[in-house]
């Protein structure tokens, strides 16, 4: 009661009260955190090897989720080697000069998979710089890409089995789609990011809810080609499930999605109902032809007949061409026109329509990588997709902690304002050529060739 009364004067509403309580909780946590570190350091002193001589205390700063910690720990000099050691740092696996906890940086990387780097730093009260978040995100993404590529090579090139605790379920569903990402300073300006999800079915948000969510979803996103993409997905999903349970692969008719059937032998292809309806609308527009085709979109045999009739009934060459595009699309996806629920035995599972991939593409990729004016370098985009994969699968924090072996230094504070000095390659001398300062065509042409770049 006394504690509540002490914060009431500074709390004018529930939001202010929450903020006040949070500040006090963090302050208490920092005090307790430092006390635990000091007790651990004392224990390590009592159990230290005989050759270590106490060389006094050294202060260290560590920025954590609960704020900045300043604590002292003992420094020891090894009588045999002459080197100085901090037993507390070694016990906690704290690398030299690292001032950010892995948990705090992992939180920032998780935010950066959804928001811009600067926004993510702001959400952390700028305890972590946006540059650090960028570096750590690139590292986590590159680590996952290397791991997936290594496992893919072991399975599909060396013939080794996928390791992991495999669950056996009756039915798995797979959906895939792509989204175009804009590149900058790359040969290809537009690249398709591929996303696939595998899940066990659907479950209600709560027992009385009319809304559903995907159960036990696994996601994978990358820029790989079709073969490498499906092999990588198979390796990741094969660590969790017996993939013979994949019964349906849903997609929009793209050839790379259909290639997934070669990796899941028991699966049937299902053309996405959303993309089918959109294709009919885009090709036929409105009118009687559109309505006749649209009304039979769930009856494959009748759908093809109506599509052929729409071609024959076209009034002009342009309308005929659009109707023919629709007919070709339907013929190319003939195997996926029939609803999978007519072809698959329920097996006690409540079967629902596919289409979860659309919202996943928007929430996981588009919202982060397709905002207005946004363009990417290819390696950075690849690493971002890898981190998005980790975040979607709930593996981001463990990955961030596992890949924190290299210290990350906060950028040095900026110096006094002024013109930055250009780095010059050894053996070269930087000079000013006034003749190239003019706006004449020849000067503009020669100016780029006078730039001196640092050695690679």
User: Is 114 domain-assigned?
Assistant: no
Model-wide pTM > 0.85 = no
| Distance in angstroms (rounded) separating the CA atoms of residues 18 and 36 | 26
Residue 78: predicted pLDDT = 94
Position 399 scores a pLDDT of: 47
Confidence (pLDDT) at 405: 34
pLDDT mean over 49-53:
93
User: Is residue 15 situated within a structural domain?
Assistant: yes
Q: What pLDDT digit, counting tens, does each position of 228-282 carry?
A: 999 999 999 999 999 999 999 999 999 999 999 999 988 999 999 999 999 999 9
pLDDT in tens, 212-223: 899 999 999 999
Domain range holding 16? 2-94
Per-residue pLDDT of 61-74, as tens digits, reads 999 999 999 999 99
pLDDT value, residue 165 = 72
Q: Which residues contact 52 (CB under 8 A, 6 or more apart)?
A: 76, 77, 78, 79, 85, 87
Cα 280 to chain centroid, rounded: 33
Taking the C-alpha atoms of residue 195 and residue 364, their distance in angstroms, rounded to an integer, is: 9
Beta-carbon contacts of 341 under 8 Å, excluding residues fewer than 6 positions away, are: 351
Residue with tokens 């559109």: 290
How far is 94 from 216, CA to CA, in rounded Å? 35
Q: Phi and psi dihedrals of 45, rounded to 5? A: -65, -45
Q: Is 24 part of any domain?
A: yes
Is 290 among the domain residues? no
**Which of 49, 76, 94 finishes a domain?**
94
319, part of any domain: no
pLDDT given at position 424:
43
Of the candidates 267, 233, 274, the one whose C-alpha atom is nearest the C-alpha of residue 252 is 274
- Tally of structural domains, the chain: 2
Mean pLDDT of the chain, nearest integer = 85
Model pLDDT, residue 455 = 41
pLDDT band at 327 (very low <50, low <70, confident <90, very high): very high
Q: Is residue 436 part of a domain?
A: yes
pLDDT of residue 18: 86
Q: Is 455 inside a domain boundary?
A: yes
At 1-28, the pLDDT tens digits run 455 556 555 667 888 888 888 889 999 9
- Cβ burial of 136 (10 Å; 0-12, 13-18, 19+) is buried
State which of 94, 125, 158 marks the end of a domain: 94
Determine the pLDDT at residue 349.
Answer: 83
Which of 94, 110, 133 is a domain's end point?
A: 94
Which range among 181-185, 305-309, 448-452 shows the weakest confidence by mean pLDDT? Answer: 448-452
Kindly state the average pLDDT of the residues 91-110: 91
Say what the pLDDT of residue 436 is: 55
Residue 432 lies in a domain: yes
Q: What is the mean pLDDT of residues 388-394?
A: 94
């Amino acid at each position: 009661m006394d504690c509540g009364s002490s914060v009431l004067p500074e709390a004018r509403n529930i939001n202010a009260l929450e903020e006040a309580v949070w500040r006090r909780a963090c302050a208490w946590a920092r005090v307790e955190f430092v006390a635990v570190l000091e007790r651990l350091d004392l224990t390590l002193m009592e159990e230290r090897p005989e050759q270590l001589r106490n060389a006094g205390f050294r202060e260290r700063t560590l920025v954590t989720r609960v704020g900045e910690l300043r604590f002292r720990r003992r420094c020891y000099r090894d009588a045999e080697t002459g080197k100085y050691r901090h037993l507390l740092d070694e016990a906690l696996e704290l690398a030299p000069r690292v001032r950010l906890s892995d948990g705090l940086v992992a939180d920032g990387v998780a935010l950066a998979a959804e928001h811009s780097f600067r926004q993510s730093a702001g959400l952390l009260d700028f305890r972590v710089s946006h540059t650090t978040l960028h570096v750590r995100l690139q590292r986590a993404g590159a680590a996952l890409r290397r791991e997936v590529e290594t496992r893919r090579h072991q399975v599909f090139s060396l013939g080794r089995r996928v390791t992991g605790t495999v669950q056996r379920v009756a039915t798995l569903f797979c959906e895939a789609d792509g989204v175009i990402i804009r590149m900058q300073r790359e040969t290809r300006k537009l690249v398709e990011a591929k996303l696939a999800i595998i899940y066990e079915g659907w479950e209600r948000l709560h027992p009385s809810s009319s809304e559903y969510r995907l159960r036990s979803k696994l996601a994978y996103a990358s820029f790989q080609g079709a073969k490498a993409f499906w092999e990588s997905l198979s390796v990741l999903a094969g660590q969790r499930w017996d993939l013979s349970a994949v019964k349906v692969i849903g997609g929009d008719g793209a050839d790379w999605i259909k290639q997934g059937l070669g990796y899941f032998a028991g699966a049937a292809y299902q053309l996405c109902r959303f993309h089918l309806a959109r294709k009919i609308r885009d090709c036929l527009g409105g009118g009687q032809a559109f309505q006749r085709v649209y009304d039979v979109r769930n009856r494959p045999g009748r759908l093809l007949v109506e599509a052929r009739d729409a071609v024959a009934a076209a009034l002009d060459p342009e309308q005929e061409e659009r109707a023919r595009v629709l007919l070709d699309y339907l013929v190319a996806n003939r195997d996926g026109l029939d609803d999978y629920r007519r072809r698959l035995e329920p097996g006690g599972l409540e079967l629902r329509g596919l289409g979860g991939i659309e919202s996943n593409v928007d929430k996981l990729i588009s919202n982060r990588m397709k905002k207005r004016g946004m363009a990417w370098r290819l390696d950075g985009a690849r690493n971002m997709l890898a981190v998005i994969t980790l975040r979607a699968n709930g593996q981001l924090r463990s990955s961030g902690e596992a890949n924190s072996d290299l210290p990350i230094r906060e950028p040095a504070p900026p110096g006094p304002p002024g013109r930055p000095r250009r780095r010059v390659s050894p053996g070269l001398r930087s000079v000013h050529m006034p003749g190239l300062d003019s706006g004449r065509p020849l000067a503009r042409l020669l100016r780029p060739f006078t730039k001196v770049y640092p050695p690679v």
